[in-house]
Amino acid sequence: MFAALDLGTNNCRLLIVSSGQRGVRIVDNYNRVVRLGEGLYETGLLSEAAMDRTMQALHHCAARIHRRKSFNLYAVATEACRRASNAPFFLNRVQEETGLNISVISPREEVELAVTGCSTFLHDRVLRRNRTKTLLFDIGGGSTEVAWVRIDPVRRKQTLIGCCSVPVGVITLREQFKRLTLNEYYQMVDFVISKITEFERVHQIRAEILREQVQFIGVSGTVTALASMILKQPKYSRAAIDGLMLETTQVKDMIRHILVSKFNKIYDYATVNHSKLHYLLPGCAIFEAIHTVWPVEDIVVADRGIRDGIIAKMLDNKLNKANKHNFDILHSFVKN
């Protein structure tokens, strides 16, 4: 058994798989919105309410893990725990109450795990369309990660050319722009653009886009939600979304539809619940900013990320035991 836990600013996610002679299969998959980073932008602290919500989810995760007789676990925390001054206190509490040892990873580690989790798409001939580079972005609750990747199709390898972590996510952006008027929506777009232009200046990605050499991959709840709306799914289906290729004009048309509906008070946002717009619109603003700077014509939607990258590394470690000393993110959890 292999278990990966991703404690983000907005969500707590757990994935457990088994590996045997018949291959790899998913045993358990858990995802709970906890909003751990709610209020962090203003106070620099994890609030009591946010920590209590998150503890409930982590108790559920621990119970699911404890039911397995033999497993390997790696649990990580990202932007909220990187930024909050009381994060060490919270993570100590988590370990004492649940036994879960959660490591705070760096932005680069976060990017690398997201890229590894999407490696199947990087080397899929249909999805890659013979392009030599990939621009991958992951819109989180507290930050947005961007990865610029070189593809080696012969060896089926990828190289991370560069990455950046923008301290802007759906929660922090929503708290920064409280009124969320139409004018503020476009202010959000401009704000995010100002945060990523330096990365473009250094790597000249736009020039590669003009030469049609760039694959575009979106990893986030924002992108998967928009894809589900485009497909008019009555209920979200991961099987239909993960690996879906869309024209970016379809995504931007859906965003226009949401904006018109929202600000003209016409509550018919396809399949999206009105309450979800609270964080969907900041995500849309981040997507628009990214696509404004890097206008790729199509996008691969990925319903995967850090957890999948952790599992992939664990499986690779199992298959390559000689390299075990090189893999320092495999932790064993022993129930007391």
| Per-residue confidence band for 265, with pLDDT thresholds at 50, 70 and 90 | low
* 164 beta partners: 146
> Above 80 in pLDDT, residue 153?
yes
2-106+306-326 and 119-302 agree in CATH topology = yes
| pLDDT confidence of residue 77 | 98
- Does the domain formed by 119-302 have CATH 3.30.420.150? yes
Structure confidence by residue, pLDDT tens digits, 206-250: 999 999 999 999 998 999 999 999 999 989 999 999 999 999 999
Neighbours of 300 (CB within 10 A): 26
Q: What gap in Å lies between CA 9 and CA 47, rounded to an integer?
A: 12
Q: Where are the domains of the chain?
A: 2-106+306-326, 119-302
- Does the domain formed by 2-106+306-326 have CATH 3.30.420.40? yes
- Which strands sit side by side in the sheet containing 244-247, from one edge to the other? 157-166, 144-152, 133-139, 214-219, 298-302, 244-247
Structure confidence by residue, pLDDT tens digits, 277-336: 778 999 999 999 999 999 999 999 999 989 999 999 998 877 654 333 333 333 333 332
| Per-residue confidence band for 268, with pLDDT thresholds at 50, 70 and 90 | low
Least confident span in 2-16, 188-202, 264-278? 264-278
For residues 7-32, give the mean pLDDT.
90
Structure confidence by residue, pLDDT tens digits, 21-77: 777 888 999 999 999 999 999 999 999 999 999 999 999 999 999 888 667 899 999
| Per-residue confidence band for 191, with pLDDT thresholds at 50, 70 and 90 | very high
pTM for this entry = 0.89
Least confident span in 21-30, 126-135, 269-278? 269-278
Token couple for 192? 């995010």
Contact at 8 Å (CB) between 122 and 149? Answer: yes
